[in-house]
Structure 1
Amino acid sequence: MKSVTRSLLILEAVAQHQPVTVGELTKLFGLPKSTVQRTLVTLSEAGWLRANRKDTTRWEIGARVLAVRPAALQGSNLLAAARDPMIKLRDALNETIHLSVPDALQGMVVVDRVDCSHAVRTYYGVGDTSPLHATATGRAILAHLPKADVEELIERGLEQFSEATPTDADVLRAELERVRADGYSVNRNQYRPDVCAVAAPILDEDATPIASVAVSMPDSRYDAERVPELGHLIADTAQEIAIRRNGA
């Protein structure tokens, strides 16, 4: 691995697994411990990483990353276009609304969130990641990707996160067909226990999926009979965001 690429991959791994030890990163990348340690120290000196305050043998994201993230997102026309429609949807449903973007086939990344007023609610922080095949946000994207991309994801293996996770290739393909037909996707306890969501894709002018918007709720407030209603509301919100983003 080239040093810059190695540093970025280690930075991403720390963000995903923090607080993490040198030994854990060594096993993850198959690199010499001295190489990993040297990279961590370099990133720490630049402010990208820091030692955990309670356990200095573990590493976590530093203040520089936390400062850069809002600045990077602030100028996004996607976030600007999505904010008001997300608030309007939250006000209509009083459930948490998430905006997520795909990281190639690696997963979905939450880039914005509007919270509901319930004391008990679902929570994904900005920057949190989740798998494509096991979530409503991910399948909303997958349903509109080229078939070759879907097959590549399947070939990598469909990890099981709960008893409800779609790990069978044919089951996933059938679900993506349904998502394309209905215009929205549904997740009931397929990734995190007792967490449900309904999501719709935000499509670019050439029908490329660039993001997904979702409403998420605890299983205790999930009502299967309301899913079509929620799906259409979310699909309308996704379309409004796309129109705003494209400047129509």
Structure 2
Amino acid sequence: MKSVTRSLRVLEAVAQHQPVTVGELTKLFGLPKSTVQRTLVTLAEAGWLRANRKDTTRWEIGARVLAVRPAALQGSSLFAAAREPMIRLRDQVNETIHLSVPDALHSMVVVDRVDCAHAVRTFHAIGDTSPLHATATGRAVLAHLPERDVEEFLAGELERFSDTTPVDSAELLAELGRIRTDGYSVNRNQFRPGVCAVAAPVLDEEGTPLAAVAMSMPDSRYDAERTPEWGRLLADTTAEIARRRLGA
């Protein structure tokens, strides 16, 4: 049991301090470097941890943790508040609706999905992650984060996924301003080719983004003229979710 307890403590420490080095963890726990390294490798082999893409000497939370998180969220007030409005929105627009939550400044994680009736539709597996800057859900959240968090995010390198992915800081800042004004964000082939989405944030009583709800569709069904209508429906849906979460 000692090794299990140690593994859990290391996992918690990585989550708190990520991306973190073996040396930093060794100082934190007062354990031999070989013991910490062995624990990290074991957790990585199981999918709980991974090496940071930019600096492989640093460790961060892995995809398995992100996949487990949605299951844990299912008992939360957010999940419970969102389900019925998402179904109602799906019935109105007949497109796939999904709920995503931010994983710090790293990504968005899909935690719930309501499928449409179309034979050809988009698919987002529960636990799927996506980049903040390249997606409608990610930008809906980014637009409502504190300025210092946005600056920290923009200080990193923004990966390009398609010809239209916003990777220029000034361009992205202008887009975030538009999202705050309009109340919704749009993604047209900026992450996955042929996939479009419109999203709105779920905000708490202080204006902090807790999640985002999106409707996604193949590019063949995207209609730019209907985007403001879809945006209003999404904004109404997320406002209802925020009220239901507070019991209003």
Q: 1:234 to 1:4 in 2, by over 3 A?
A: same
Rate the CA distance shift 1:43–1:228 in 2: closer, same or farther, 3 A.
Answer: closer
CA distance in structure 1 between the partners assigned to 2:247 and 2:14 by the alignment? 38
Aligned to 1:82: 82
Letter in 2 for 1:187: N
Q: Which residue of 2 aligns with 1:146?
A: 146
Structure 1 residue ranges, 4+ long, deviating more than 4 angstroms after superposition? 2-11, 32-44, 68-71
Deviation at 1:117, TM superposition (A): 1.0
- Encode CA deviations 1:55-113: one digit per residue, 9 max, x unaligned: xxxxx988x997x6565123111010000000000001110001011111011111100
Tell me the amino acid that sits aligned with residue 138 of structure 1: G
1:4-43 alignment runs, 5 A limit: 4=8, 7=11, 39=40, 41=42
Q: Any idea what SS the aligned residue of 1:144 has? A: coil
Q: Distance in 1 between matches of 2:121 and 2:218?
A: 6
SS at match of 1:198: strand
Alpha-carbon separation, structure 2, partners of 1:61 and 1:110:
12
Question: C-alpha displacement at 1:119, in angstroms?
Answer: 1.2
Percent same amino acid at aligned positions? 63
The aligned counterpart of 1:225 is 225
Q: Give the match for residue 185 of structure 2.
A: 185
Instruction: Name the residue aligned to 1:52.
Output: none
Count of aligned residue pairs for this structure pair: 214
For structure 1, the residue ranges without an aligned partner over 5 or more in a row are 12-31, 50-59
Q: Alpha-carbon deviation of 1:158?
A: 1.2
Report if the CA contact (8 A) 1:48-1:65 is conserved: no
Structure 2: runs of 5 or more not aligned: 1-5, 16-32, 49-61
Find the aligned partners of 1:166 and 1:146 in 2 and give their Cα distance. Answer: 20
The answer on whether the counterparts of 2:70 and 2:127 sit within 8 Å (CA) in structure 1 is no
Cα separation, 1, equivalents of 2:71 and 2:173: 38
CA contact (8 A) 1:7 1:43 kept: no
Cα RMSD of the aligned pairs, angstroms, is 3.1
1:211 aligns with 2:211: yes
Equivalent runs, 1:153-168 vs 2, <5 Å: 153-168=153-168
Is residue 213–residue 238 contact of structure 1 (8 Å, CA) maintained in 2? Answer: yes
